């Protein structure tokens, strides 16, 4: 029998569970059908979407600066993450529990694939 869903687990953005096609459909809905292939070829699913930022997008094949800013902003909005301060070191860990959790589950492996937000909160 499955354990009941905890309230804090409902705070996790549903896009985390998106498939590669779901992410590709989302990028099309944003108005960028030309980038669908960039996301599908690079196997960007909901968990990998957490890693998509302005420094990763050029490596995916997206080089238009305005598009990079717009897509990065929409990824943050989709995930409920705040825009990082300009003077924040990239070596700093994410500054919110949700940001830390999203970063953790963006990785692959059996231990993180089943990690819930409530489990993460208990162990940090």
Please write the tens of the pLDDT for every residue from 73-85. Answer: 999 999 887 766 5
Better pLDDT: 121 or 44 = 44
| 57, pLDDT greater than 70 | yes
Q: Is the Cβ–Cβ distance between 78 and 15 less than 8 Å? A: yes
Assess whether pLDDT exceeds 90 at residue 72: yes
Establish how many alpha carbons lie within 13 A of residue 33's alpha carbon, considering only the half-sphere containing its beta carbon.
0
How far is C-alpha 14 from the geometric centre of its chain's CA atoms? Answer: 10
Confidence of residue 19 (pLDDT cuts 50, 70, 90): very high
> What pLDDT is attached to residue 123?
82
Q: CB count, 10 Å around CB of 80? A: 14
Q: Looking at per-residue confidence, does 41 or 95 come out higher? A: 41
Round the CA-based radius of gyration of the chain to a whole number and report it. Answer: 15
Per-residue pLDDT at 102: 84
Nearest Cα residue to 48 out of 29, 67, 22, 77: 22
d(CA 57, CA 64): 10
Q: Domains for the chain: give ranges and CATH numbers.
A: 7-83+95-123 (1.10.150.50)
């Amino acid at each position: 029998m499955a354990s009941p869903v905890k309230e804090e687990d409902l705070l996790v953005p549903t896009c985390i569970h998106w498939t590669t096609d779901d992410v590709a459909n989302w990028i099309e809905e944003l108005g960028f059908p030309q980038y669908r292939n960039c996301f599908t070829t690079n196997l960007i699913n909901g968990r990998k979407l957490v890693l998509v930022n302005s420094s990763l997008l050029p490596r995916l094949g997206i080089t238009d600066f305005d598009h990079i800013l717009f897509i990065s902003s929409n990824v943050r909005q989709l995930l409920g993450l705040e825009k990082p301060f300009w003077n924040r070191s990239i070596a700093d860990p994410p500054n919110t529990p949700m940001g830390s959790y999203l970063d953790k589950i963006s990785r692959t492996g059996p231990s993180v694939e089943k990690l819930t937000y409530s489990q993460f909160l208990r162990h940090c």
